Amino acid sequence: MKRFLHVLWRGLLVVLCGVFLGVFFFAAYQLYHTFHGYHQAEKEYENLNSQYVSTAADVETEPTPTPEVPEETPKVVAGPIQVDFDALQAQNNEIVGWIYSPNTVISYPVVRGVDNDFYLYHTFDGSLNSSGSIFMDAVCETDLSQSNTILYGHHMNNGSMFASIADYKQAGYLEAHPVLYYYTPDQIYLLEVFCCFVTGPDSDVYTFNFSSPQEFESYLASWRSRSNFDTDVEVTGEDHIMTLSTCTYEYEDARYVVMCKIVPM
């Protein structure tokens, strides 16, 4: 009997060791897969920035005489970066814009798919990756003509994609990052942050169109009353806004939302 129990015990130890090793190797594989995905996505978006985005310092121009122009000629305001949309559209014709936040990691192409599922787990070049893309809601108009245009992005653990959007919870972050920039092939827009808060995935903050400017103003007032802070950015029912949305972890399926007034430059 003692010999039988000894053999049984050794057998159980072997089985348990096998189980523990299996769990260990599975967890190690999952970690490798996750961090490999992070690395691949970071590399892809870094390459897009290096190839198709330039700053004023990157562009060398010869000094030229300044021609005299009539006073009524409008000033052309340049943004902090330049984006080669022709080259980007050759890679992915679903690109609709580029979002840029100075002194943060946010410098990404914005795509719009036929639904809101594909770009959750596919990067700009179509690769399957948990980092996904920054994407516009599929029902939004790419010309920003709706009252509210919504962009989504993951809150990645490595700080990429829209993770820094949640930093607006922190005191002082708004003062350091009061605006973002949104580029399209035809126009540059200033995004003036005016409202930030935690909400749920089924919140009516994800409303796009309104029956009247008065209804839109009521919507704006309702959400500004829940904001983490007050700003002096004036937004009326005649304006257009962009809502940036990412995950947050106050409760299950919570979202952190940053609302911005769209101002053409």
pLDDT digits (tens, 9 = 90+) for 205-263: 999 999 999 999 999 999 999 998 889 999 999 999 999 999 999 999 999 999 999 99
pLDDT category at 18 given cuts 50, 70, 90 is low
pLDDT of residue 27: 41
Confidence band of 40 (pLDDT split at 50, 70, 90): confident
* Strand residues in 92-215 grouped as ranges (E): 95-100, 107-111, 134-136, 148-152, 179-183, 188-199
How sure is the predictor about 182, in pLDDT bands with cuts at 50, 70 and 90? very high
pLDDT tens-digit readout, 81-97: 999 999 999 999 999 99
Written as six digits, the tokens of 32 are: 């490798």
Identify the helix (H) or strand (E) that includes residue 89. helix 85-91
Closest CA to 243 of 174, 156, 162: 162
> 0.95 cut: is pTM over it?
no
Q: What domains are defined for the chain?
A: 48-55+78-264 (2.40.260.10)
Give mean pLDDT, residues 143-171.
95
Residue 22: the pLDDT is 46
103 and 176 in contact (C-beta within 8 Å)? yes
Q: Which residue has the higher pLDDT, 231 or 32?
A: 231
* Mean pLDDT to the nearest integer, 95-122: 97
The model's pLDDT over 56-66, given as tens digits with 9 standing for 90+, comes to 655 444 444 44
Q: DSSP letters along 10-43, please?
A: HHHHHHHHHHHHHHHHHHHHHHHHHHHHHHHHHH
- How would residue 6 be classed by pLDDT, with cut points 50, 70 and 90? low
What percentage of residues in the chain have a pLDDT greater than 70? 77
| Distance (Å, whole) CA 239 – CA 251 | 32
Q: Which residue has the higher pLDDT, 42 or 28?
A: 42
Average pLDDT, the chain: 85
Terminal C-alpha separation, the chain: 87
- Residue 26: pLDDT above 70? no
pLDDT at 55: 81
**What percent of the chain is predicted at pLDDT more than 90?**
73
